[in-house]
Structure 1
Amino acid sequence: MDSSEHPHQHPTPTRARRAWSAAGIAAVAALALSGCADAAPDDDRGSSASARATAPADLPTGQTAPDGDTTDVVTGLEAPWSVVRTGDDGDALVSERDSARVLELQDDGTMREVGTVDGVSHGGEGGLLGLALHDDDLFVYSTADDGNRIQRYDLTGTTGSWALGDATTIIDGLPSNTFHDGGRIAFGPDDMLYASVGDAGASSDAQDEDSLAGKILRLTPDGDVPDDNPVDGSPVWSLGHRNVQGMGWSSDGTMFASEFGENTLDELNVIEAGENYGWPEVEGEGGEDQGFVDPVQQWSTDEASPSGLTVVDDTVFVANLRGEVLRAIPADDPGSSTEYFQGDFGRIRTVLEGPSDTLWFVTNNTDGRGDPVQGDDRIVSVPLTRAAG
């Protein structure tokens, strides 16, 4: 079975939008958004979808781990894809893939609509995907009728009144399909914009240096090609990718990326400028003799489908969809990992550092491929503990 979110399946029709709720926040019931959550199906996960994590007793120095009870930050989201925090507290912006809405989550748990990204064509895995913040601008990756694109929006207002201002297209015409759309964007420690572009179902294009399919791109915030990119005048930073959906950097600048395999192996890669990661000539390890870079860790596709990724205190956290698990991987020993919340929350799309020594992760059970319970989809918070030393 294809680990790239099963392209032969199609999302179910979008249900009526439900009211958002946050644990213990009665004010959310007064939001001007109608509807209620679907009744929970017969599922091992309860409507509260709570769980507890226990950090390893021998947690290495410099590492961090979930440790404690989970709580819902907010519930009732429809096919959420990306979350970016706007400050040191619990304020954040959330993208909904199919509605093309950008939502604001405030520290008290209330939600409001910031705006809708114009011209989004959703279907399959396409739609409103990645978000990234840079200075006072919101960068947005989305699918339009003529391909995927990255736009920069002026973000006006302040907490509780954020709004989308004028949009400037950074790059457009990126390969798109109903599957393998990539979609993750992030600013690196070099202040450059990195973007993952899937192979859009044309696997051979991932090896074509003249195609942007199956690549990680690197651009300036204005959309220009940096002078120190591997190929003069090209936005391509690395090639030979199938469908990267997670990117992050450790404290020493090492770049990690999570990647969907096809029928056999999903990957965690260390990304270096100009390197080739082998797709479609090789899946998983075994490509070094052909000049490809092997992954630092791999998983069978039925236990992974790695999507979002973040690095906290040199621990790489990877959200997994089909595997329904959160993995923690030491940046200095990326061949090992610890699993948390196996099956407790269903599909997990995104993970990010939360406020006040917490980790947030985002479920993805309402996108047509999961089994939602009451309250899905949700942002979940769990305390983090750091190893002494």
Structure 2
Amino acid sequence: MTTRHPFLRLAAVLALSTSTVLTACTPGLAEGAAPSPPRGEISTVADNLDAPWSIAFHGRTALVSERDTGRIVEIGDRGATREVGVIDGVAPRGEGGLLGIAVHRGFLYAYYTASGENRIERFPLTGTPGRLGLGRPTTVLAGLPAASFHNGGRIAFGPDGMLYATVGDAGNRAAAQDVAVLAGKILRMTPDGKVPRGNPFAGSLVYSYGHRNPQGIAWDTRGTMYASEFGQDTWDELNVIKAGANYGWPEVEGIANRDGFTDPVQQWRPAEASPSGIAITRGNIYIANLRGQVLRQVPLDRLSTSTERLVREYGRLRDAVVAPDGSLWVLTNNTDGRGDPNPGDDRILRVARP
């Protein structure tokens, strides 16, 4: 069941004006520095980003990846943007380029498309907020399958301290069912790219398989993992991820009720969804949708239901993350070649107390 329920209309008006830009390091504001905004109020944190793909926090400072420029951008006071560095070797093509980023113990991790492969590298973060830089890279994982589409690309550290990465099928459908190949998988690895204890297949980084193009991963407070996934022409999916489970692609798409395959807990037509980044807060999963141009809210206690928010108000939505202050940040994606940019796009939206 899906219902439509936009956030406060006042918030929508506020978000359209750069005069409502908050301090971009809103998470870093001193306690009590300003009264709490109304619940659900929307404001613009930063704008004029170029095909942004992912947001990660270094302490209370936000960093953003730009797919085609290969830049890591620091969001500073009052929405100011500053280039932290450019990832050498990024070779953008189609859906590929600089994709997901994550921060862990002072390192920036980046998943990107290079010439003939996708790879994960990590960089020491140097300097202080306002003067951050990138140190020399170390390869975490190389040789991941790449194409102009279906690159996956989301990376995140789980509650177990392990690094998880989503890898698309890169156009090789059959590979998604082959646990000896990393295409069409969700991977689990140590922070330096090794196979950790507890993985379901001996000596393998593969954590789950049978995926087409998963682009969102997040965990609830009990450690349950969820993932969003682009379908082909029939169904996009929200899945509960279990170690060693087979999610069916390309044998099945959506809820199939077939032995041997794990069905999604919810599915949507691609034109209404195309789910990318996801975040979990206050008992809900929030899913950023591209073609559907909605922020979908799924209650953890009713996973088969959802509510649509921000319905076609801001265009394509690529990522959703929980900021250190508990607000929800949503990244638009209208400048990626498939959207219809408005003045100031792309931007980061802040939803207060979602």
Q: Shared topology, TM-score over 0.5? A: yes
Question: Is 2:40 aligned against 1:71?
Answer: no
Q: Residues 222 and 368 of structure 1: is their aligned pair in 2 closer, same or farther, counting only changes over 3 Å?
A: same
* Amino-acid identity (%): 56
Q: Residues 22 and 103 of structure 1: is their aligned pair in 2 closer, same or farther, counting only changes over 3 Å?
A: farther
Helix, strand or coil at the partner of 2:136:
strand
What residue number does 1:209 align with? 179
Q: Which amino acid aligns with 2:287?
A: V
What residue number does 1:269 align with? 239
Contact 2:21 2:46 in 1 (8 A): no
What residue number does 2:265 align with? 296
Give the whole-Å Cα distance in 2 for the aligned partners of 1:259 and 1:289: 19
Question: Is 2:317 aligned against 1:317?
Answer: no
What residue number does 1:185 align with? 155
Give the whole-Å Cα distance in 2 for the aligned partners of 1:227 and 1:172: 21
Q: Residues 272 and 74 of structure 1: is their aligned pair in 2 closer, same or farther, counting only changes over 3 Å?
A: same
Any stretches of 5+ residues in structure 2 without a counterpart? Answer: 1-16, 25-37
Helix, strand or coil at the partner of 2:258:
helix
TM-score for the superposition, normalised by structure 1: 0.81
Any stretches of 5+ residues in structure 1 without a counterpart? Answer: 1-20, 29-65
User: Could you tell me how far 1:87 is from its partner in structure 2?
Assistant: 2.5
User: Could you tell me how far 1:210 is from its partner in structure 2?
Assistant: 1.1
RMSD of aligned residue pairs (Cα, Å): 1.8
Contact 1:251 1:313 in 2 (8 A): no
Q: Which amino acid aligns with 1:326?
A: L
Give the whole-Å Cα distance in 2 for the aligned partners of 1:237 and 1:27: 39
What residue number does 1:248 align with? 218
Question: Is 2:54 aligned against 1:85?
Answer: no
What residue number does 2:132 align with? 162
Q: Residues 379 and 26 of structure 1: is their aligned pair in 2 closer, same or farther, counting only changes over 3 Å?
A: closer
User: Could you tell me how far 1:354 is from its partner in structure 2?
Assistant: 2.6
What residue number does 1:343 align with? 312
- Which protein, 1 or 2, shows the higher relative CO under an 8 Å CA cutoff with sep ≥ 6? 1
Helix, strand or coil at the partner of 1:68:
coil
* Of 326, 334, 337, the match for 1:365: 334
Q: Which amino acid aligns with 1:71?
A: S
Helix, strand or coil at the partner of 2:278:
strand
1:19-34 → structure 2 map (5 Å cutoff): 23=19
Q: Residues 166 and 265 of structure 1: is their aligned pair in 2 closer, same or farther, counting only changes over 3 Å?
A: same
Give the whole-Å Cα distance in 1 for the aligned partners of 2:44 and 2:296: 19
User: Could you tell me how far 1:69 is from its partner in structure 2?
Assistant: 3.1
Q: Which amino acid aligns with 2:46?
A: V
User: Could you tell me how far 1:68 is from its partner in structure 2?
Assistant: 3.3
Give the whole-Å Cα distance in 1 for the aligned partners of 2:63 and 2:20: 20
Question: Is 2:172 aligned against 1:172?
Answer: no
What residue number does 2:109 align with? 139
User: Could you tell me how far 1:109 is from its partner in structure 2?
Assistant: 1.9
Q: Which amino acid aligns with 1:325?
A: V
User: Could you tell me how far 1:26 is from its partner in structure 2?
Assistant: 12
TM-score for the superposition, normalised by structure 2: 0.89
Give the whole-Å Cα distance in 1 for the aligned partners of 2:112 and 2:19: 30
Q: Which amino acid aligns with 1:251?
A: T
Helix, strand or coil at the partner of 1:310:
strand
Give the whole-Å Cα distance in 1 for the aligned partners of 2:310 and 2:144: 35
The C-alpha deviation readout for 1:347-374, integer Å capped at 9, x for no partner, is 0000111353421101000000000010
Q: Residues 27 and 230 of structure 1: is their aligned pair in 2 closer, same or farther, counting only changes over 3 Å?
A: closer
Helix, strand or coil at the partner of 2:251:
coil
What residue number does 1:41 align with? none
Q: Residues 112 and 224 of structure 1: is their aligned pair in 2 closer, same or farther, counting only changes over 3 Å?
A: same
User: Could you tell me how far 1:25 is from its partner in structure 2?
Assistant: 6.6
What residue number does 2:121 align with? 151
Give the whole-Å Cα distance in 2 for the aligned partners of 1:318 and 1:27: 25
Give the whole-Å Cα distance in 2 for the aligned partners of 1:237 and 1:209: 9
User: Could you tell me how far 1:108 is from its partner in structure 2?
Assistant: 3.1
Give the whole-Å Cα distance in 2 for the aligned partners of 1:305 and 1:27: 31
Give the whole-Å Cα distance in 2 for the aligned partners of 1:128 and 1:149: 10
Contact 1:230 1:273 in 2 (8 A): yes
Q: How many residues align?
A: 325
The C-alpha deviation readout for 1:230-259, integer Å capped at 9, x for no partner, is 011100000000000000000011100000
